[in-house]
Chains A and B, each alone.
Chain A
Amino acid sequence: MFPTDEPDPTLLRGLSRRRLGRRDALRLGGMSAMGAFLAACGVQGQGKPSASVAPDAVAKYWAGKVQNNKLDFANWPLYMDPSKPELAKFTAKTGIQVKYDEVIQEMGPWFAKVQPQLAAGQSIGYDLMVITNSIQFGQFRDAGFLAPLDHSKLTNYAANAAKSYAATSYDPGNVYTVPWASGITGIAYDPDKVGRKITKLADLWDPAFKGKVGMFRDPQELGNFGLLAAGITPAGSGEADWTAAAAKLKEQKDAGIVRQYYDQSYVDALGKGEVWITQAWSGDIFQKNVSDGTNFEFVIPEEGGTIWTDNMAIPITAANPVDAIMMMDFFYEVENAATLAEYINYVCPVPAAQAVIKEHAAAATGEDKEYLTSVADSPLVFPAEADYSKLHYYVEFDTPQKQQAFTKTFEPIVLG
């Protein structure tokens, strides 16, 4: 009979995001102009006290762990050049064979998938995974599913990472994770269809775009924009605020303005003209414009946008944790961080990579040169030191009850 599996998000993502061609670099157009007001490289701390971890936990975990010369790496689709030059380099340098799978497409389903094995103390088949600082990040962390990192093995990280990353609210001191890349959630729109400049969240509530507005399905992404639209700062918000934000979002939905609540497929919907204006992730729009020659605009709304970080973490049951932590540190070699950023166009956690990309640009010629220059200058890859107040972090939950209450507040909007 019918396969009743959910539609494969890899496929959808694959359909919606293509390999970005350097040839098309010129088409970037207004992208670099958009966000001079963008934030400093990295993620600002929120001053939350450091997570409590037993002082000997690190020593205990890493005792007797050795390099096994193999590594299973779980990442999101299209988060690395498909020819995997960095992995080849890593193998050549360390002798570690890497199996790289693009198996993570959404945090909720990924957590639901690996949680039973982790809870049973079994290997999930991966030694390294990239997880967003979402609701599930807290679940991974609080359930004790993440191996504490031995920072003596992370020398490149110590030397090259943007300092702000040590003070995040979700993993202060990088006890469990180090960043892979960060991204900004803002508004993307098709200027030809919209016919005016979009500057604020209220534009997502404009009845003129009835049935043409895309919103995210993830409760954090959706809820945060609801909060910002209702004039509430996401960090430190409480249940009453969430209810107010949900009412704001429900109003938008009941007026028929929202076309659909999207996952990664929003890029495709924007490309096909199904939505004209949508919540969007920075790097996606950059890549879409480059690969498809589209001319979409990405803006951080006046009321603010959100910033999130995808982080490398070692599952506590990993079979090859030493190999995994070597890989973590490998991506903090400036050269490797630079080539990765050149491809993915998300916020790079290594500030020094900007100079390296500029060097690459200087050495290149023609279109490649222009492409690399645009990456080095992109405020979405290396945000300038500027108006940081426009970017907000995800809501933090100190108890599972609060997280459940948050999810239950926003879930009914998506599942209307």
Chain B
Amino acid sequence: MRRILAPYLLVLPGGLWLLLFFVVPMATMLSLSLQEGDIINGYVFTGHWQTYVESIQGYQTQLIRSLVYGAITSLILIVLSFPVAYWIAFYGGRRKPTYLFLILLPFFVSFVLRTISWRMILTDDGVLLHPLKEAGLLPESFHLLGTPVAVIGGLVYNFLPFMVLPIYVALERIDPRVVEAARDLYASPLTAFRRVILPLSLPGVFAGVLMTFVPASSDYVNAELLGGTGTTMIGQVIQSKFLTSSDYPSASALAFTLMTVLLIGVFAYARALGTDDVMKVAAR
């Protein structure tokens, strides 16, 4: 009997934790999104699903913008991270841990502080733009902050390790002998890369996209600190609805919508990539 119960007992603490801090808040949020009222007199459950329609209609621009920013961020990250991960995995030698440590080093500083540093670099009369303006290469009113370039740049910077590390792990696992075998069978280095290394690294890329696209799409710190009037992301809208206007139903409805859209997106993506088990890949 005890043997049968053991696995359940083992899962109990984690399960309770999830129930208390994930399932309960989710249910509360769903319920809140269907309530009506105001902060003074309280909110009452009325099943007012129209909040969803209104919220989505009102903020679809920001929702789509967030998904586009998230997708662009992930794409740029793949392009930037793959060569880095490849080089560390195959040419890093015994210094591999050092290189990985260097990739992670900036992340010992808080997320917000790093983004503020970016702000300081990109600012209108900062170290980057001031010399260019002095040299007459850019007009005085040119600015990077407040543009999508700055926001996506910040997202890419902040999420870099989350793409490098999974790709690195996937590449690192490749048995060098498979590559040698490909070469022995007269594959050119390019063919060997295309037919052997690339397919074997795809789970890493997949995990990387999962770990960057989802948080990047729902991020609001970068857009807040680096963005301007035309770069508002859905995370900022939700944050503001919750914490500034105390409009809990709209905020919950938007949060739920975002989550649903992201979940559908992730599963569709897993399908398209032929990966049956999303979680298994993500867990690697």
- Residues of A at under 8 Å CB distance from B? 1-8, 11-12, 15, 106, 108-109, 111-113, 115, 119, 139, 142-143, 210-212, 219, 253, 256, 258-261, 272-274, 400-401, 404, 407, 411-412, 414-416
Given contacts A7-B116, A256-B230, 8 further A-B pairs with CB under 8 A are A7-B225, A108-B244, A142-B40, A212-B141, A272-B125, A400-B38, A404-B247, A412-B58
**Contact assessment for B124 and A273 in the assembled complex, using a CB-CB cutoff below 8 Å:** yes
Of B95-103, B169-177, B234-242, the one contacting chain A is B234-242
The answer for the CA separation of A414 and B230 in the assembled complex, in Å, is: 10
Contact partner of B229 among A5, A8, A15, A261, CB < 8 A?
A261
Contact partner of A108 among B42, B111, B236, B245, CB < 8 A?
B245
**Contact assessment for B225 and A115 in the assembled complex, using a CB-CB cutoff below 8 Å:** no
**Contact assessment for B245 and A274 in the assembled complex, using a CB-CB cutoff below 8 Å:** no
Contact partner of A4 among B38, B125, B221, B245, CB < 8 A?
B221
Complex interface: chain A residues within 8 A of B220 (CB): 4, 6
The answer for the CA separation of A219 and B241 in the assembled complex, in Å, is: 12
Interface residues on B, range: 35 or more
Q: Does B143 contact A (CB under 8 A)?
A: yes
The answer for the CA separation of A268 and B247 in the assembled complex, in Å, is: 29
Complex interface: chain A residues within 8 A of B111 (CB): 2-4
Q: Does B59 contact A (CB under 8 A)?
A: yes
**Contact assessment for B221 and A139 in the assembled complex, using a CB-CB cutoff below 8 Å:** no
How many A-B pairs have beta carbons closer than 8 Å: the answer is 107
Contact partner of B40 among A3, A143, A415, CB < 8 A?
A143
**Contact assessment for B229 and A416 in the assembled complex, using a CB-CB cutoff below 8 Å:** yes
**Contact assessment for A273 and B125 in the assembled complex, using a CB-CB cutoff below 8 Å:** yes
The answer for the CA separation of A414 and B110 in the assembled complex, in Å, is: 27
**Contact assessment for B215 and A2 in the assembled complex, using a CB-CB cutoff below 8 Å:** yes
**Contact assessment for B245 and A259 in the assembled complex, using a CB-CB cutoff below 8 Å:** no
**Contact assessment for B146 and A211 in the assembled complex, using a CB-CB cutoff below 8 Å:** yes
**Contact assessment for A407 and B245 in the assembled complex, using a CB-CB cutoff below 8 Å:** yes
The answer for the CA separation of A260 and B146 in the assembled complex, in Å, is: 7
**Contact assessment for A273 and B123 in the assembled complex, using a CB-CB cutoff below 8 Å:** yes
The answer for the CA separation of A119 and B38 in the assembled complex, in Å, is: 13
The answer for the CA separation of A1 and B214 in the assembled complex, in Å, is: 13
Name the CB-closest residue of A to B235: A4
Complex interface: chain A residues within 8 A of B125 (CB): 272-273
**Contact assessment for A272 and B39 in the assembled complex, using a CB-CB cutoff below 8 Å:** no
Complex interface: chain B residues within 8 A of A113 (CB): 243
The answer for the CA separation of A143 and B41 in the assembled complex, in Å, is: 8
**Contact assessment for A274 and B123 in the assembled complex, using a CB-CB cutoff below 8 Å:** yes
Name the CB-closest residue of B to A140: B40
Name the CB-closest residue of B to A404: B38
Name the CB-closest residue of A to B220: A6
**Contact assessment for A106 and B244 in the assembled complex, using a CB-CB cutoff below 8 Å:** yes
Do A211 and B237 form a contact, CB below 8 Å, given A108-B246, A273-B123, A407-B245?
Answer: no
The answer for the CA separation of A400 and B211 in the assembled complex, in Å, is: 42
**Contact assessment for A411 and B240 in the assembled complex, using a CB-CB cutoff below 8 Å:** yes
The answer for the CA separation of A142 and B38 in the assembled complex, in Å, is: 12
Contact partner of A2 among B58, B158, B224, CB < 8 A?
B158
A sample of 15 cross-chain residue pairs with beta-carbon separation below 8 angstroms, ordered by A number, consists of A7-B115, A7-B116, A12-B116, A106-B244, A112-B242, A210-B141, A259-B229, A260-B146, A260-B229, A400-B40, A401-B38, A412-B58, A414-B240, A415-B236, A416-B230
The answer for the CA separation of A112 and B136 in the assembled complex, in Å, is: 48
Q: Does B126 contact A (CB under 8 A)?
A: yes
Complex interface: chain B residues within 8 A of A109 (CB): 243-244
Complex interface: chain B residues within 8 A of A3 (CB): 110-112
**Contact assessment for B221 and A7 in the assembled complex, using a CB-CB cutoff below 8 Å:** yes
**Contact assessment for A111 and B40 in the assembled complex, using a CB-CB cutoff below 8 Å:** no
Complex interface: chain A residues within 8 A of B58 (CB): 412
**Contact assessment for A416 and B116 in the assembled complex, using a CB-CB cutoff below 8 Å:** no
Q: How far is the CB of A304 from chain B (nearest CB, A)?
A: 24
Complex interface: chain A residues within 8 A of B31 (CB): none
**Contact assessment for A400 and B41 in the assembled complex, using a CB-CB cutoff below 8 Å:** yes
Complex interface: chain A residues within 8 A of B215 (CB): 1-2
Complex interface: chain A residues within 8 A of B229 (CB): 253, 256, 258-261, 416
Contact partner of A415 among B41, B62, B243, B246, CB < 8 A?
B62
- The CB with the most chain A CB atoms within 10 A, among B124, B229, B243, is that of B229
Which of chain B's residues 98-128 have a Cβ closer than 8 Å to chain A? Answer: 110-112, 115-116, 123-126
Name the CB-closest residue of A to B215: A2
Complex interface: chain A residues within 8 A of B141 (CB): 210-212
Q: Does B197 contact A (CB under 8 A)?
A: no
Q: How far is the CB of A135 from chain B (nearest CB, A)?
A: 9
The answer for the CA separation of A119 and B43 in the assembled complex, in Å, is: 13
Interface 1/0 per residue, B252-274 and A, CB below 8 Å? 00000000000000000000000
Complex interface: chain B residues within 8 A of A12 (CB): 116
The answer for the CA separation of A211 and B61 in the assembled complex, in Å, is: 21
Do A274 and B112 form a contact, CB below 8 Å, given A6-B220, A7-B221, A412-B58?
Answer: no
Q: Does B232 contact A (CB under 8 A)?
A: yes
The answer for the CA separation of A2 and B232 in the assembled complex, in Å, is: 20
Contact partner of B39 among A4, A139, A253, CB < 8 A?
A139
Name the CB-closest residue of A to B107: A2
**Contact assessment for B224 and A112 in the assembled complex, using a CB-CB cutoff below 8 Å:** no
Q: Does B145 contact A (CB under 8 A)?
A: yes
Complex interface: chain A residues within 8 A of B38 (CB): 400-401, 404
The answer for the CA separation of A398 and B143 in the assembled complex, in Å, is: 43
Q: How far is the CB of A266 from chain B (nearest CB, A)?
A: 13
**Contact assessment for B232 and A416 in the assembled complex, using a CB-CB cutoff below 8 Å:** yes
Q: How far is the CB of A97 from chain B (nearest CB, A)?
A: 32
